[in-house]
Amino acid sequence: MKTIDCTTFQGVAGEIADRSPQRNDSASRNGSALKIKVCGMRDADNILAVSQLPIDFMGFIFYKQSPRYDKNLNVEAVKAIPVTIQKVGIFVNATQAEILDAVETFDLQMVQLHGNESPEFCNTLVGAYCIRPINNVCPTKIIKAFQIASTDDFKRCAEYESVCDYFLFDTKTPQFGGSGKKFDWSILSAYNGKTPFFLSGGIAPEDAEAIKQLNLPQLFAIDLNSRFEVEPGVKDIEKLKQFIKPAPNPLKGALMSPLRGI
C-alpha cells in the first residue's frame, strides 16, 4: 500500500496545510480550510475530470444496493487519481475479506463504514490493515458513519473513539445514506467528542454560506454527492467548480474559512 504524498497547495476553499489526515488534527486547525470529499464516483471519464479539481478525498461505493455502485469499476482509472487525493471506499456491513480485497485492488487509503459495524469489527479491521505498518503508522484510515436525527444519536460515538480515525455524520434514513436530504445542523453543537468528522447528507451548491458560518472545532471535511450530480454516480463538474471556487486570494471563494477556525 502506498503512503500519501503530503503536499501543500493553495486552492479548494483556501490554503491546505497538510494532505494527510491525522487523528484529532481539526481541533488545532485555527482557520485552515475545510477539506472536501466528492463521493459516489463510478464513471472513468468523470473520475478523471473530478480528479483535476482541488479536492482532498474521492469516494467509491462498494455497496451493491447503491445506484452509485459499479461492479466493473475501472481499476486503472481509480489508481490514476493524483496522490494528493485520497481514495475512500464506502462499505455497508461488508465482511473483512471483502473490504481488504477492495483496499488492495483499488489502493484505497481510507475505509468508510456506513452500516451497523461494531467497535469490535472496526478494531479488528484496524489490526488487519496494520500488518504492514509504515513507520509504525497504520497506512489506512477508518471513517465510521453515523445516521443523525437528534442529539441522542451522538451517544454511540464514544465507543468508537479509540478505533476510528474519523466520524461521518449523515442524515438518518431507512436506507444507509444517499437520501439527498439534510438533517438539522444546529444539533452538531451537541457533539463533544475528540474525533474529527465529515459532514454529509444533502449538501447542495447553495449551502456554501451556511457551511462557512458553522462554528464546530471538530468539523474536518464536507461530503459532496447527490446534489452535485447529473445522474447517480456522475458529477456535474461546473457545479463542483462553482462551489469550490479556488481563487488567487486565499480569503475568497465559496468555502474560504477566515471565520472561527473552520
Q: Is the pLDDT of residue 165 over 80?
A: yes
Cell of 63: 455497496
pLDDT at position 32 is 62
Which of 9, 112, 113 minimizes the C-alpha distance to 57?
112
Q: Is the pLDDT of residue 77 over 50?
A: yes
pLDDT at position 181 is 81
- Per-residue pLDDT tens for 215-259? 999 999 999 999 999 999 999 999 999 998 754 433 234 454 332
Give the integer Cα–Cα distance in Å for 11 and 250.
7
Highest mean pLDDT range out of 30-44, 78-92, 125-139? 78-92
Which residues touch 35 (CB under 8 Å, ≥6 apart)? 12, 16, 21, 56, 57, 220, 221, 222
Which residues touch 64 (CB under 8 Å, ≥6 apart)? 71
- Interval 187-215 mean pLDDT: 94
Strand partners for 87: 58
Which residues touch 77 (CB under 8 Å, ≥6 apart)? 44, 47, 48
Please give the backbone phi and psi of residue 96, each rounded to the nearest 5 degrees, phi first: -60, -40
* Fold type of domain 34-244: TIM Barrel (3.20.20)
Three-class SS of 5-60: CCCCEEECCEEECCCCCCCCHHHHCCCCCCEEEECCCCCHHHHHHHHCCCCCEEEE
Lowest mean pLDDT among 7-11, 74-78, 184-188: 7-11
Instruction: Determine which helix (DSSP H) or strand (DSSP E) holds 111, and give its type and residue range.
Output: strand 110-113
pLDDT at position 173 is 80
pLDDT at position 191 is 97
Instruction: Determine which helix (DSSP H) or strand (DSSP E) holds 145, and give its type and residue range.
Output: strand 141-148
- Per-residue pLDDT tens for 115-162? 999 999 999 988 776 655 556 666 789 999 999 999 999 999 999 999
